[in-house]
Amino acid sequence: MNRRHFLHTTAFTTASLGLADLRAAVPGLKIGMDHFAVRATGWKAGQFIDYAASLKLDTCFLSELGIFESFDDVYLQGLKDRADRLGVQLYLGTGGICPTSNTWKPTFGTPEETLALTIKTAKKLGSPVARCYLGNQKDRSSEGGIQRHIEETLKVIQANRSRAETEGIKIAIENHAGDMQSHELKALIEAAGKSYVGANIDPGNAVWALEEPLAHLEALGPHILCSSVRDSMAWEDEKGAVIQWTAIGEGLVDFSRYARRFAELAPGVPLQVETISGFAKPLTWKQDDFWKAFPGYRDSTAFQSWVQFTQRGRAISPFQAPNGPEKKDAEIAYQKGELERSTRWLREKV
């Protein structure tokens, strides 16, 4: 009798089972959170760690440097000690490092200095990776196309090679906000060097880049170092398709299948939930000017798979927080609900 049949046919509820039992279907699969899932809280790093521990998660992905109160050794060691005491493994990231991207911000110095700080901080926190990204979908339509930005990102990464290798930290590049498709990210990783560079995989961002999430997972599987995951709902309209990210289990992605394949392709790497839900993004692919961002892709089998994916969905309403003094609390409650339903779904359904 398999485990799923057992849960269906006995009087036990998932709440009555231990955490180890709930994860037994995928041995070794770790479940965590990306702090950005509950960004409305305005918390600092230590509070996100405490929250992850309260949810009994394995990991907490501190994916932006702005949530740290300091980068001195005493403060960072205190965060690591706190996480160790609570049984939470830390992962670390920063934002964009491409100097030609529309998303670039010099908050922590030059792109090279920003990545260097991220690597140094990752080492102090015990994170195996320093996550970063290129930009967003707008970069695909800029002068020189996405390739220009890939080349600039590569220079920044290569400038930090010796630092990453000395510290034993791998640089994880995210497919971010529709910037790179899987074949482009894979080529960037291979050009930089697979020994110290890999992927932070995001299936929600893959949908924005016109890729079906399971196909995207297969393409990047051997390169995965960490993850930021969410589900996606999609539906057709007269201009193309509309995408709205959702809590896991509430969209179109077969996350039972996704999680199992993820564990096979990237053993030991956690599924870290980053729910960014409640708004819709139109992708107007039926209009000719849309294809400036994706030249040559319209006739591909990969695009046809994505279209079929979008045809399976239905329109859903966006989240709207009430105006007034209750707005912030409503946003926090909504974001916590999305994250907590997602991690619970992964524990109970995978």
Residues in the chain, how many? 350
pLDDT, residue 186, reads 98
Q: What is the CATH number of the domain that holds 84?
A: 3.20.20.150
The number of distinct structural domains making up the chain is 1
Report if residue 240 sits inside a domain: no
Look at residue 57 and tell me whether its pLDDT is greater than 70: yes
Report if residue 43 sits inside a domain: yes
> For residues 45 and 344, what is the distance between their CA atoms, to the nearest angstrom?
23
Contact by Cβ (8 Å): 35, 275: no
User: pLDDT tens digit string along 100-143?
Assistant: 999 999 999 999 999 999 999 999 999 999 999 999 999 999 99
Look at residue 350 and tell me whether its pLDDT is greater than 70: yes
User: pLDDT tens digit string along 67-85?
Assistant: 999 999 999 999 999 999 9
Look at residue 216 and tell me whether its pLDDT is greater than 80: yes
- For residue 324, count other CB atoms closer than 10 A to its CB: 8
The answer for residues whose C-beta is within 8 angstroms of residue 249's C-beta and 6 or more apart is 231, 255, 341, 342, 345, 349
pLDDT, residue 281, reads 98
**271 exposed, middle or buried (CB, 10 Å; 0-12, 13-18, 19+)?**
buried
Q: How far is CA 90 from CA 32, 48, 111, 117, 172, in A?
A: 10, 11, 23, 16, 14
pLDDT, residue 14, reads 32
Residue 122's nearest CA partner among 86, 87, 172 is: 172
CA 11 to chain centre: 36
Percent over 70 (pLDDT), the chain = 93
pLDDT, residue 303, reads 98
pLDDT, residue 25, reads 58
pLDDT, residue 27, reads 79
Task: Over range 194-198, report the average pLDDT.
Answer: 98
pLDDT band of 21, cuts 50, 70, 90: very low
Residue ranges making up the domain that contains 97? 22-230+252-276+322-349
Report if residue 17 sits inside a domain: no
Report if residue 81 sits inside a domain: yes
Report if residue 160 sits inside a domain: yes
Report if residue 117 sits inside a domain: yes
User: pLDDT tens digit string along 218-270?
Assistant: 999 999 999 999 999 999 999 999 999 999 999 999 999 999 999 999 999 99
Q: Which amino acid is at 86?
A: L
pLDDT, residue 19, reads 42
Report if residue 182 sits inside a domain: yes
User: pLDDT tens digit string along 22-39?
Assistant: 344 577 899 999 999 999
pLDDT, residue 12, reads 29
Q: Answer yes or no: pTM beyond 0.85.
A: yes
The answer for residues whose C-beta is within 8 angstroms of residue 14's C-beta and 6 or more apart is 7, 22, 347, 348
N-term to C-term CA, the chain: 16
pLDDT band of 2, cuts 50, 70, 90: very low
pLDDT, residue 11, reads 32
Report if residue 239 sits inside a domain: no
pLDDT band of 13, cuts 50, 70, 90: very low
